């Protein structure tokens, strides 16, 4: 305890030894800095005493991610295959492909959300589109690179629908 007018006792954070602090954990008394403090209903605590846990809706196991990715790729491939028969509606139908991929992946992941799952959704959308384009190219007897270079509007007809569908899939997973 310091007398009035005396400077407060300055200690250093237990996690960041170069940071001065006068804060202490309300439970264990460990010195903590403003970066380490966790506000709880009973006051500031260190991370160990606050017992921070991840919510179950954000926890994904390998099995859920793999199952969702496979379901997303299958849905994406089927969706892009149907869209390939109606190329002039590719932009509009890409919204539906992305929504379908996001919905299937969300259900297969038991409605959980995670950045890894969102990344898998983008991979599923792009992978399904690439697979369908590769099958179309082989049906014409062309390598995929020649098939994509045959049309000067390939950027608009392939990349933009993939971006739209990826956006819709990620939005559906949030």
Model confidence pLDDT, tens digit, residues 143-167: 766 666 666 666 677 788 999 999 9
- List the chain domain ranges: 11-50, 56-173
Per-residue model confidence as pLDDT tens digits over 100-137: 999 999 999 988 888 889 999 999 999 999 898 888 87
93 pLDDT more than 90: yes
Look up residue 40 and give its DSSP letter: E
pTM: 0.66
Burial class (CB in 10 A: 0-12, 13-18, 19+), 141: exposed
HSE of 106, CA atoms in CB hemisphere, 13 A: 15
């Amino acid at each position: 305890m310091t007398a009035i007018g005396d400077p407060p006792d300055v200690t250093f954070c237990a996690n960041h030894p170069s940071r001065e602090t006068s804060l202490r954990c309300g439970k264990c008394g460990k010195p903590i800095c403003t970066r380490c403090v966790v506000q709880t209903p009973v006051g500031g605590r260190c991370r160990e005493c606050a017992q921070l846990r991840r919510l179950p809706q954000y926890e994904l196991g390998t099995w859920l991610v793999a199952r969702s990715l496979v379901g997303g790729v299958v849905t994406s491939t089927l969706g892009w295959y149907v869209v390939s028969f109606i190329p002039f509606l590719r932009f509009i139908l890409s919204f539906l492909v992305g929504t379908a991929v996001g919905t299937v992946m969300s259900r297969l992941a038991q409605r959980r959300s995670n950045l890894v799952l969102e990344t898998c959704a983008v991979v599923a959308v792009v992978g399904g589109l690439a697979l369908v384009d590769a099958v179309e190219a082989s049906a014409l007897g062309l390598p995929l690179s020649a098939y994509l270079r045959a049309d000067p509007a390939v950027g608009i007809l392939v990349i933009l629908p993939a971006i739209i569908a990826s956006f819709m899939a990620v939005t559906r997973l949030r």
